[in-house]
């Protein structure tokens, strides 16, 4: 059956970004170990893949969402928020395939309410404490760079996030074989030319070092003769020398991997060695202590490290309260205790839900990890007891510290204990407490009774003249004590 013909104007509008919906992005990669784990087909995926569409309240009643046919009222009016995810505008059955998109949209709204910037992942697990105290934004100049030359690509290999090559540690056997067939094997001549440049640079550095050791001053300006210059060009490198250099590289796998990664622009891989920070301890080379890439353990992100969640660069700003003035701490966030600590089942770490994410609790000695016998506070009780009678479960106030995005698109939020005073201020702000009203009531004076014999009281004889004062207007304390 042939499709219905449209006019040129309608075809132009269909292809326009203003009147058409963007194509969905690929879904997150599957977990290869899910065969031995529980998997729910209705669970929320790591990140949204389709555009979220909304409408006004008046158009929602009539089912008008801006498409060619109205959406059914029975489905759209039952949802709390007018948010829809359209999978296909025109399906084979000539219906609009859609579903509610409140899961990702409300999660994004809650995350942005925390005013939490996205940080660079922690490269080394030993640097967890320092990374939380000194967070590094994903928008810093040394890491948020995409337009780089060949020299900058080598210098910033452990800080940048975008690579043209794949991450080998995350590829399957089939993907790796296809990558070798299509991207690698037809570039052998280019790799030999690349090795010529590397070998020429090593020869030039070696010749300059010999000149310095011999006491001869290396020419600072361009010499007229090539013999006086320590620079070695690629034309001076023969194919025999390149072949011999390749044989030496086969014995030094670390150097060979670095050269191949530089040639193919591969994402760095964490070697998981104890001495990987010591560099190459070869004789005659300088020792350089460099940190590994923050994306070496899990791979580089599939999008920008911020993932469009937050464009804040830092959280070093001060909250200003209308009554109490500038605050030392940021407002705490109410979190839900999803799974308390249970030592009987070897569950030593509670699961806390914050803004739609399961947060990472600190591993040091805090209230999240303390035993119930040592601390009987309300917070510690919530960490160890599952309240089934309370609607929505037990909720506590926590303080979010940092958030990162891994290579699979998952958001990791790290939390800590909230300050007691900031909790009181936040509870009063949301209507769960009345700290300011209680303080005002404690400072109020009792009502002074009327005494006609005392001329300084609130009432006096008719016709008497009493000079106005703060006491007569009830703004000051009375000199007499009424008990």
CA distances from 184 to 173, 191, 265, 268, 338 (A): 15, 9, 12, 17, 48
- CA quadruple 129, 134, 135, 140: dihedral positive or negative? negative
User: From its phi and psi, is residue 279 left (phi > 0), alpha (psi between -120 and 50) or beta?
Assistant: left
Q: Can you give the pLDDT at residue 398?
A: 92
Segment holding 240, helix H or strand E: helix 239-251
Secondary structure letter of residue 237 according to DSSP: -
Mean pLDDT over 53-82 rounds to 89
Of 82-96, 135-149, 277-291, which gets the smallest average pLDDT?
277-291
**DSSP assignment, residue 472?**
T
Residue 436 sits at the vertex; the CA angle it makes with 433 and 441, to the nearest 5 degrees, is 110
Average pLDDT, the chain: 77
Q: What pLDDT does residue 152 have?
A: 80
- Residues making up the chain, counted from first to last: 483
What value does the mean pLDDT take over residues 171-199? 89
335 pLDDT exceeds 80?
yes
Whether 177 has a pLDDT exceeding 60, the answer reads yes
Q: What is the pLDDT of residue 3?
A: 55
SS3 for 24? coil
pTM over 0.85: no
Q: Locate 119 and state its tokens.
A: 């940080």
Instruction: Kindly state the average pLDDT of the residues 218-238.
Output: 60
Q: Can you tell me the distance from the alpha carbon of 427 to that of 439, in angstroms, rounded to the nearest whole number?
A: 15
User: What digits encode the pLDDT tens for the residues 106-139?
Assistant: 999 999 999 999 988 876 655 555 555 667 888 8
In sign, the C-alpha dihedral spanning 111, 116, 121, 124 is negative
Q: How many CA atoms lie within 13 A of 159 on its CB side?
A: 18
Beta carbons within 8 Å of 78's beta carbon, 6+ residues apart: none
Per the CB < 8 A criterion, the answer to whether 219 and 228 are in contact is: yes
Helix (H) or strand (E) holding 260, with range, is helix 253-264
Looking at residue 407, its pLDDT comes to 83
Q: What is the mean pLDDT of residues 275-280?
A: 46
Q: Where does the pLDDT of residue 397 fall: very low under 50, low under 70, confident under 90, or very high at 90 and above?
A: very high
| pLDDT per position as a tens digit, 51-63 | 899 999 999 999 8
Report domain extents, the chain: 8-113, 164-264, 320-441, 445-483
Separation in Å, CA 313 to CA 117, 316, 331: 6, 9, 18
400: left (phi over 0), alpha (psi -120 to 50) or beta: beta
Range 225-237 average pLDDT: 67
Q: Two tokens at 84?
A: 């829809």
Residue indicated by tokens 């791979």: 299
Give the tens place of pLDDT for each residue, 407-466.
888 899 999 888 888 888 898 888 887 777 777 666 665 555 555 555 454 444 455 555
Q: Region 255-280: what's the mean pLDDT?
A: 70
Residue 393 CB coordination number (10 Å): 15
Per cent of the chain over pLDDT 90 is: 10
Residue of higher predicted confidence among 281 and 394: 394
Among 67-71, 222-226, 447-451, the least confident range:
222-226
- Alpha-helical (H) ranges within 345-478 are 378-384, 420-429, 435-443
Q: Please answer whether residues 309 and 411 qualify as being in contact, where contact means their C-beta atoms are separated by less than 8 angstroms.
A: yes
Quick one: pLDDT at residue 221? Answer: 45
> Which range (103-107, 236-240, 270-274, 310-314) has the least confidence?
270-274
Work out whether the CA dihedral 82, 83, 88, 92 comes out positive or negative. negative
The rounded distance, in Å, linking the Cα atoms of 161 and 138 is 9
Outline where 78-137 has alpha helix (H): 102-113, 128-133
3-state SS class at 379:
helix
Predicted local distance difference test score (pLDDT) of residue 108: 92
């Amino acid at each position: 059956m042939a499709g219905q013909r449209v006019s040129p104007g309608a075809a132009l509008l269909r292809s326009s970004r203003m009147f058409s919906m963007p194509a969905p992005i690929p879904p997150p990669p599957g977990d290869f170990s899910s065969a031995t784990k529980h998997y729910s087909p209705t669970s929320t995926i790591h990140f949204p893949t389709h555009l979220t569409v909304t409408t006004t309240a008046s158009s929602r009643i009539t089912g008008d969402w801006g498409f060619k046919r109205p959406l059914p009222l029975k489905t759209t009016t039952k949802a709390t928020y007018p948010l829809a995810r359209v999978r296909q505008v025109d399906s084979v059955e000539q219906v609009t395939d859609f579903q509610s998109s409140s899961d990702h949209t409300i999660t994004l709204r809650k995350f942005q309410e925390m005013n939490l910037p996205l940080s660079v992942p922690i490269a080394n697990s030993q640097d967890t404490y320092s990374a939380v105290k000194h967070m590094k934004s994903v928008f810093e100049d040394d890491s948020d760079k995409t337009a780089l030359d060949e020299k900058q690509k080598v210098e910033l290999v452990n800080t940048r996030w975008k690579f043209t090559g794949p991450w080998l540690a995350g590829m399957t056997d089939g993907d790796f074989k296809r990558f070798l067939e299509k991207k690698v094997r037809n570039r052998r001549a280019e790799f030999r030319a690349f090795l010529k440049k590397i070998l020429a640079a090593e020869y030039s550095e070696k010749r300059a070092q010999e000149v310095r050791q011999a006491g001869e001053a290396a020419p600072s300006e361009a010499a007229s003769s090539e013999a006086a210059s320590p620079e070695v060009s690629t034309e001076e490198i023969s194919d025999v020398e390149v072949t011999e250099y390749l044989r030496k590289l086969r014995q030094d796998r670390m150097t060979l991997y670095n050269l191949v990664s530089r040639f193919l622009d591969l994402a760095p891989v964490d070697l998981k060695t104890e001495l990987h920070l010591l560099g190459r301890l070869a004789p005659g080379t300088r020792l350089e202590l460099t940190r590994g890439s923050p994306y070496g353990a899990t791979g580089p992100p599939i999008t920008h490290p911020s993932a469009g969640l937050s464009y804040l660069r830092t959280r070093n700003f001060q909250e200003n309260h209308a009554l109490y003035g500038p605050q030392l701490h940021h407002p705490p966030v109410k979190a839900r205790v999803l799974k308390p600590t249970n030592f009987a089942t070897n569950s030593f770490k509670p699961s806390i839900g914050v803004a739609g994410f399961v947060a990472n609790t600190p591993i040091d000695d805090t209230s999240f990890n303390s035993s119930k016998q040592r601390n009987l506070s309300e917070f510690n009780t919530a960490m160890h007891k599952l309240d089934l009678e309370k609607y929505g479960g037990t909720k506590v106030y926590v303080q979010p510290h940092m958030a990162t995005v891994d290579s699979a698109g998952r958001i990791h939020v790290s939390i800590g204990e909230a300050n007691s005073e900031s909790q009181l201020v936040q509870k009063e702000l949301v209507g769960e407490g009345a700290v300011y009203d209680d303080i005002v009531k404690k400072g109020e004076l009792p009502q002074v009774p009327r005494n006609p014999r005392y001329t300084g009281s609130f009432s006096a004889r008719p016709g008497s003249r009493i000079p106005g004062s703060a006491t007569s207007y009830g703004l000051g304390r009375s000199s007499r004590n009424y008990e």
